[in-house]
Amino acid sequence: MIAGRAQAAASELGIARAFGSYEDLLADPDVDAVYNPLPNHLHAEWTIAAARAGKHVLCEKPLATTAADAERMIEACEAEGVLLMEAFMYRLHPTWEAVMSLVASGRIGELRTVQSWFSYFNDDPGDIRNLVETGAAPCTTSAATA
């Protein structure tokens, strides 16, 4: 059933290949790298599986739900000789690359402090990104715990 749904979506979008499971995708020798956008609590499991299958991994943020899991992911990727990168959008964004170049040039003086804020509004208590059991941070606001 999953393979059929994957194939239907691939056909609709003009994608040549589809897989019925993560295992099938990781077993394909023509796949060099994977993007791991799974819920946070699955990042470590599937990043390590991808590394063991010899695939480079771009893992959605947060990389892991614990420091121990992040260390296991890094160790697995290093052991298999594959790259691991967290999908943190700002790092390679052209605007931030320009800022880094400007700071590095010294044109605006010495950098002393950086203050930044990224947020989005999501107060749905049933959203997987808000469930502690799937890797969300515990929240004490009434909107997230209602």
Q: How far is CA 76 from the centre of its chain?
A: 16
Helix (H, G, I), strand (E, B) or coil at 10: helix
Enzyme catalytic residues: 61
Please give the Cα distance from 92 to 89 (Å, whole number): 7
DSSP letter string, 66-129: SHHHHHHHHHHHHHHT--EEEE-TTTT-HHHHHHHHHHHHTTT----------------TTSGG
